[in-house]
Amino acid sequence: MYDNLFRIVSSDGRFDERFEPKLSGDELRKMYSTLVKVRMLDDRMLVLQRQGRVGFYVPSTGEEALQVGSAWVLEKDDWVFPAYREPGAALVRGMPLKKIVAQIYGNAIDTSKGRQMPSHLGDRDANFVTPSSPVATQIPMAVGAAMAMGMRKERNVALVYFGDGATSTGDFHVAMNFAGVFNAPCIFLCKNNQWAISLPFTRQTASPSVAMKAMAYGFEGVRIDGNDVLAVYTSTKHAVENARAGKGPTLIEAVTYRMGPHSSSDDPTRYRDAKEVEEWRKRDPITRLRLYLRAKGLWDEKWEAELRKQIEEEFNAAIKEQEAAPKPPIESMFTDVYAEMPWNLREQMEETRARAGKHKGEASEQFPL
C-alpha cells in the first residue's frame, strides 16, 4: 500500500533533489506552521468535545499534508469543494481560525448560523463551499462548477476532496464520467486514509488503486504519498496547470492514514489493530516536513517553541471569543429561505419567540422547543 508512490521526502527525511519544488524558505516555514495549526485544532477541539463544550468534532490528524499541500497551489478565484475533514485547506484558503472555531461551536458568529453539523466548514470569502454530510455529494457539484468555469472561458479550477469510501458511490462515477466527457477543469483529490468509518479500503474496491479508475474515464490518475506535503504540492500543481491550460481533469489519490477516530463519536479500537496505527505513526507528515526544514537550515528548536506558543495563543483567543458569543438567535430558524417570509412561517416564528421568552432562564431554554 505504501510502496511505489510518488514521493519527494521520505519518512526518514531523505529527499529527492530532482523533484524539489521551488518554494522559498518563508513559504516552507509557513506551510509547516499551517500543518502544526491543523494538528493543534484537533488537540484542542477533542478536549473541548470531551468537556462537553462543543458537541461533535471530526479530526484529521495524520492527514494534514494532503490538505495543506493541495490547497497551497490554488489562486483566489479557484473553488474548493471539501468534505468534512479538511480544516487545513480552509486555513490555506484564508478562512480565519476564529470562523473555523465558531463553526464548530455553532454560535451567532458562525457563518452557517449553527445550522450545519460541526466541522462542515464553509466560507464564501474563500470560495470554500460548505459540504453536505451525505458522502460524495460534493463531487458532482465540483464538476458542475468546473464545467461552468470552462464554458465561460475562465481560467479557474475546482478542487474537490473526498475519501476512499466516497469512491463506492454513484456520485463519484457520474462526476468522473462527466468531467472526462466535458473536459472539466476539475481536480479530484481522493484522500485514501484506508478507512471509511469501520470499513477498510480492501472492502471498498476490488481494484488495487483508486487512481487507476481515472483511465476508464479518459484522464490521468496519479497515486502519491499523501503524507509528503511536497509531493502533494507538486502533483496538485501539475494537475492545476493542466486544468488551467484546458487539458481537463486529473484524479489524485493521496495515500494517507486516519490516525484518530472517524469522529468524536467513534472508537476505532473496536475495529482496527493498534499495530497498524503505530506503523503509520512513523510516517507522520509534520515530522517529515520538520526533517526537511532542518536539512535546509530552516528549523531549530527555538523557532519551533516560539511558533507553538504563538499558535497556542491564537487558539486561546479564538476559543475565548467563541465561548463568550451568544447562540444564534432563535428567529434564524425561519430566515434565509424566502426573500419575503410567508405568513405561516412568520406566525410560527412569532409563536416560537413568545415560547422561548416565556421559558427564559429555565433549563429548557437550552432547547426552547
Contacting range for ligand TPP; rule: CB under 6 A; set: 90-98, 113-121, 127-135, 140-148: 127-135
Q: Would you say 7 or 191 has its CB closer to ligand TPP?
A: 191
Q: Would you say 6 or 172 has its CB closer to ligand TPP?
A: 172
The only residue of 85, 113, 283, 288 in contact with ligand TPP, by rule CB under 6 A: 85
Q: Compute φ and ψ for 273, nearest 5 degrees.
A: -80, 130
The only residue of 42, 164, 225, 253 in contact with ligand TPP, by rule CB under 6 A: 164
Strands 195-196, 250-255: parallel, antiparallel or unpaired by DSSP? unpaired
Binding to ligand TPP by residue 165, rule CB under 6 A? yes
3-state secondary structure the chain: CCCCCECCECCCCCECHHHCCCCCHHHHHHHHHHHHHHHHHHHHHHHHHHCCCCCCCCCCCCCHHHHHHHHCCCCCCCEEECCCCCHHHHHHHCCCHHHHHHHHHCCCCCCCCCCCCCCCCCEHHHCECCCCCCCCCHHHHHHHHHHHHHHCCCCCCEEEEEECHHHHCHHHHHHHHHHHHCCCCEEEEEEECCEECCEEHHHCCCCCCCCCHHHHCCCEEEEEECCCHHHHHHHHHHHHHHHHCCCCCEEEEEECCCCCCCCCCCCHHHCCCHHHHHHHHCCCHHHHHHHHHHHCCCCCHHHHHHHHHHHHHHHHHHHHHHHHCCCCCHHHHCCCCCCCCCHHHHHHHHHHHHHHHHCCCCHHHHCCC
Contacting range for ligand TPP; rule: CB under 6 A; set: 123-131, 160-168, 296-304, 345-353: 160-168
Q: Would you say 134 or 342 has its CB closer to ligand TPP?
A: 134
Residue numbers annotated as active site? 258, 262, 271
The residue number whose beta carbon is nearest to ligand TPP equals 163
Binding to ligand TPP by residue 280, rule CB under 6 A? no
Binding to ligand TPP by residue 134, rule CB under 6 A? yes
Rule CB under 6 A: which of 194-223 touch ligand TPP?
Answer: 195-197
Question: CB of 254: closest distance to ligand TPP in angstroms?
Answer: 11
The residue number whose beta carbon is nearest to Mg ion equals 163
The binding site for Mg ion (CB under 5 A) comprises 163-165, 193, 196
Question: CB of 44: closest distance to Mg ion in angstroms?
Answer: 23
Q: Which does 135 bind (CB under 5 to 8 A by kind): Mg ion, ligand TPP, none?
A: ligand TPP
Q: Which does 133 bind (CB under 5 to 8 A by kind): ligand TPP, Mg ion, none?
A: ligand TPP
Question: CB of 137: closest distance to ligand TPP in angstroms?
Answer: 8
Q: Would you say 107 or 236 has its CB closer to ligand TPP?
A: 236
Q: Compute φ and ψ for 339, nearest 5 degrees.
A: -60, -45
Q: Which amino acid is at 129?
A: V
Q: Would you say 164 or 253 has its CB closer to ligand TPP?
A: 164
Binding to ligand TPP by residue 248, rule CB under 6 A? no
The only residue of 131, 144, 163, 221 in contact with ligand TPP, by rule CB under 6 A: 163
Residues that bind ligand TPP (CB under 6 A): 85, 133-135, 163-166, 191, 193, 195-197, 258, 262
